[in-house]
Amino acid sequence: MDGMATSGTVLITGTSSGIGLAAAVAAARAGWTVVASMRDPARSGPLLAAAGAAGVAGRVHVERLDVTDAAGVEAAIARTVGAHGGLDAVVNNAGAGTVGTIEVDGMTAVRNTMEVNYFGVVEVTRAALPHLRAARGRLITVTSVGGVVGQPFNEAYCAAKFAVEGFMEALAPVAASVGVRVSVVEPGAVASEFVASQRLDIPKLVEAAGPYGPALRAYIDRTRKAFGNAQRAEDAAAPIIDALQHPDPPFRIQTSEWAHEFAATKLADLDGSAVQAMTAQWVSAG
């Protein structure tokens, strides 16, 4: 994999929908053998249909993998290596959003969010690294602009994504010393996530938020407007493929100009005042 990569075997987690599905199809079109993992392979219909429509069904192989199941992660990676002779790249994409605040939701919601979005990423990374080291391969993790900027009513989600970014930033030079390049990809609003969010019972959420209800209502109204200009999953997946193919990809990659500017606000905000002024507006009913 030294230099420009044009093929190999890539394991992508969370491919039943959204960015993961789009990345799996795009990687197959780019010549990769794609092991497309998901918790429930019964949900693979949309992925397989998209791969078929793109003419790459033969390069996409569905694999069951629940990132919160350590033994299952080990088994899935072992099956991948056994079936394809190695593992050249991993795209950590599986994750789950959550909306709420700690006083109302309690610790269980925080722990569950960390299990999927942080510890799941760490588990897959740990199990894959010996194979990526042998291949001098790539480790790419889809985080979020929520891993750079803390956002109201996303405390648990942002905490997990911040943790992932810190983990990968610390790992990157260590992995590079043995030939593994590490990158994080930071999407902003993505259309598929907006569709999923419509399943939330908004009135019930606002009522359950108690004294935080007015702020939550303001945040939801603002977020719905933001998703009016949401990026397509296919466009958000394109930088992932670029990172797979590029001979020397950057560590931190945003998927849109909006995400770039949003992340830049935080990275230049040494005392935190710019971010606090911005996000305070999101929860203001005025």
- Residues with catalytic roles: 157
- CA distances 27 to 36, 43, 60, 76, 252, Å, are 10, 20, 9, 19, 20
Distance CA 63, CA 100 (A): 32
Phi, psi of 183 (to 5 degrees): -140, 150
Residues 14, 191, 7, 122, CA torsion sign: negative
Length reported for the chain: 286
Other beta carbons within 10 Å of 271: 7
Place of tokens 């190999």: 8
Q: Which residues, 6 or more positions from 271, have their beta carbon under 8 angstroms from its beta carbon?
A: none
Angle at 160 between CA 124 and CA 254, to 5 degrees: 85
Please, are residues 254 and 146 in contact by the beta-carbon 8 Å criterion?
A: no
Which DSSP helix (H) or strand (E) runs through 278? helix 273-282
Q: In whole angstroms, how large is the CA radius of gyration of the chain?
A: 19
Other beta carbons within 10 Å of 178: 12
